[in-house]
Every structure is written in structure tokens, then in C-alpha cells.
A = this chain, B = another copy of it.
């Protein structure tokens, strides 16, 4: 157990810009489920808050410590316990890093699809807590779609097994799925059984540059209407491209102001046909430049450039990252509303989007330490949230609610559904010790 204030400080918050946090009273790094259960039972008895923590890469403040809390860090529970090639499942501890699991599966010819941008650092436990998505979920679904079973320590300190090892089940309430995305408010996940897929076929990459967001939005709409389900369909806007160019001088803005990156992975000749269809959609929507990339290295470089956007922006200041998701046909409308909000407030919003999902990550850069500008930008993003809700969207596609989206969530769900959340919370955590003050108010 760590209680030295200088040491616990590094466990006090995640990567959410501007979300409040306090120093925890203590940090524990359990080595197994029994230790987790003992800690929670002790905290329940004494009314001590418990905050679970993976790698701390969250963007909503969900892992931020609260006053007097015990932070349970899963860094020492980081083993892949089993990969069953015949049943196509893996059993892992929560502290396993996403990419480590993916690599272990790949070594056996299997694939764990969820691929959040944080995959090199974020843990499966954290991915489960936020129901993490990623690039390939446009075709392959999100974390919840891969969680078969969980071992969980409830707020009473009970150890329970939820879910199943079978392909399907109708046995009682879907509690494993309920725990996925519950952000540490219902229980602490101590073991995860995930479904795996077989290795996928070679991906074909299609690249398109567009003069403006509306034409890129029309290209996405055409792809959706074509019936092709790409394995990735990403949008990178000009502010994002420029930030990377200013850092890495990659010439990303030479082709146009908005970049669309698509991948198709249907096996055999169909994959190439899908890529041709996507290319035709890009061209018909008025791409300034587009091509199927025959060179995997070049394609990888463009996807790598997309991943550089966030660090490139971080060079310029503190990055506020949004995560709204709208019905996918309304992506062009949401992009237009983003531009309108930005113009009204005189800010530059850089946007990455999982375009095929309608999931947008607008980003604002705030000079570090400028609390007034931070507050102003938070206000801008509250408007973005309202615009997404007005389009029938959701306040968070894949980052979770944490602290930053609580107002938006309350508006999205309404009081009756929030009350159902509270009732469920009482069943799992009667003492109210698990991640208190997150997601919704008690």
C-alpha cells in the first residue's frame, strides 16, 4: 500500500483535461482477486471510497481520485491467463495492456478486435470500464461485443462470476454487459473472458482528400449507402492535419483540407471490390485526390499520421477532447454544426472522427495554466454536446462519462432513467463507495 503523498499523486487522475481530482489516501496494487475483495470489503465497512484504475489513459476523469479514496491500481494483475484457440476466447487479468493481448492472440492466429487509439497503453480492464471502441468497431463492434464473462468484486466485497463461456445464453439478466461501461461504479472487474475472431484477411486501404468537410461528409454518406461496411472509415480535418505537418512535416495538407482513410477487409476478391466501391464513392463526392493504396507501408503511414494528431496538438497546449456520436447519416450535419459553434466562439476545433460510426472527436487546445480559457472551451464543448443531443446523438461514443459528461448524460437520459441507474447502483454498491460522484449523482 502506498500512502506517501508524493507517490500517490501519480495515481490521482487520468488524462482528462481539466477534470477535478483529489489526492487519494492510499494506492493499493493487488496481486489477485482475494486481495481486491479484502480491500473493498474493508472500505465498505468503513465507508471509504474506492476508485479503480487501469493505465490512467481515460479522457473523461472516470479514474480520477476523490478525497480520502483508496485507488485500486491493477498494474500488478497484468497476465493473459489463457488463450483457448478452439473455443476462440481469452481469459485475462484487468491490467493486461490492449496491444499485449492483441499480440498474444495474433501469435496464435487469433484476433481481439477492439482497438482504441490508446491500445499501446490502455488496459483491458479500463477498456471494459468505458466500453472502449476504436477504428475497427465500425465493422466489428466495441468492447462489450467481445466480453463473454467477468469476475467482479461488488461493492459489498463479494466475488461474483457473470456471463458465460458458451456462445450464447438466455440465463437471467445480462449482468456482464451491464458491468461493461459502468466505469467502476458497480464493481471492480478482476478477470475478463473475451471472445476472439480468426485472423482477418489483408486489408485494402483507400485514401481521399477533400476540399472541405461537407464534401467529405457526402463521401461518408455515399459509402454508408453503398452497403459496403469498411473495417475503418476515419476522417481527419485540416486543423488536425496541419498540427501534424507543423510537427513532422509530412506534407499531409498538400492533397486537400480533409482526409478520409478507409480500409476494407472482406476476404478474397470481395475485399478489393469493396475498396473499389469506396474509391468510387470518394470520387463521386468530389475528392480532390483519391487512390487505393497498393503499398501497405504507405497506408500504415497515413493511419500512423492520424494517430499523431493528438500528440501533435498536445505540443501546443492542453487538449480537450470530445467524444459525441450522432446517427451516422447525420455526420455531415454535425460537422456543419461544429463549424458553426467554432465560428461563433472564435475557436479552431480540430476534429478526428470515426466517420463510419458517426463518432466525432472534436478537440480544442488550451494554453496550459490558462484557467479562464479552459472554462471558456469547456463551455464551447457543452454546446457541442447539446448539438449532438439535438441530432439524436449521445454524449459519449467510447470514452465514457466520468466527470466531464455528467451534465450531458443527465440531459441525454432524463430523470427517470437516471433513477434506474441509482437503483441498480444500490443493488451492487449499497454503501456507495465505488467511484462515488462519477457518471451520475447519488
Contacts and interface: CB of A to CB of B under 8 A. Distances in A.
Interface of A: 86-87, 109, 130-133, 137-138, 142, 144-145, 154, 158-162, 164-175, 177-178, 180-182, 186, 198, 221, 224-225, 227, 229, 266-270, 273, 323, 325-329, 356-359, 392-401, 405, 409, 412-414, 416-418, 420-424, 426-428, 439-440
Nearest to A130: B170
Contacts of A398: 168, 170
A389 to B, nearest CB: 10
6 contacts: A167-B357, A167-B359, A168-B325, A171-B394, A174-B180, A267-B270
Contact of A173 (B109, B171, B181, B323): B181
A398 to B, nearest CB: 5
A172 to B, nearest CB: 6
A424 to B, nearest CB: 5
Contacts of A327: 87, 165-166
A424 B426 CA distance: 9
B168 A417 contact: no
A162 to B, nearest CB: 7
Pick from A173, A267, A327, A328 the residue with the most CB of B within 10 Å.
A173
A392 B427 contact: no
Contacts of A400: 170
A392 B193 CA distance: 13
B172 A401 contact: yes
Nearest to A392: B165
A400 B174 CA distance: 12
A401 B170 contact: yes
Contact of A175 (B158, B186, B269, B420): B420
A414 to B, nearest CB: 8
Nearest to A430: B423
A326 to B, nearest CB: 6
Given A168-B397, A267-B266, A173 B133 contact: no
Contact of A405 (B160, B171, B225, B267): B171
A166 B397 contact: yes
Given A86-B329, A160-B414, A171-B405, 20 more contacts: A138-B167, A145-B145, A160-B416, A166-B325, A166-B326, A166-B327, A166-B358, A167-B356, A167-B358, A172-B412, A172-B418, A173-B181, A173-B186, A173-B420, A174-B181, A268-B273, A269-B269, A420-B428, A423-B424, A423-B427
B427 A169 contact: no
Given A177-B178, A178-B174, A198-B227, A325 B160 contact: no
A420 B427 CA distance: 6
Contact of A325 (B133, B169, B440): B169
Contacts of A132: 170
A385 to B, nearest CB: 11
Contacts of A329: 86-87
A377 to B, nearest CB: 22
A141 B355 CA distance: 25
A328 B170 contact: no
A407 B304 CA distance: 54
Contacts of A224: 86
Nearest to A142: B168
A439 B402 CA distance: 34
Pick from A417, A422, A426 the residue with the most CB of B within 10 Å.
A417
Contacts of A356: 167
A225 B86 contact: yes
Nearest to A164: B394
Nearest to A88: B224
Contacts of A144: 174, 177
Pick from A159, A270, A323, A428 the residue with the most CB of B within 10 Å.
A270
Contact of A423 (B133, B393, B405, B428): B428
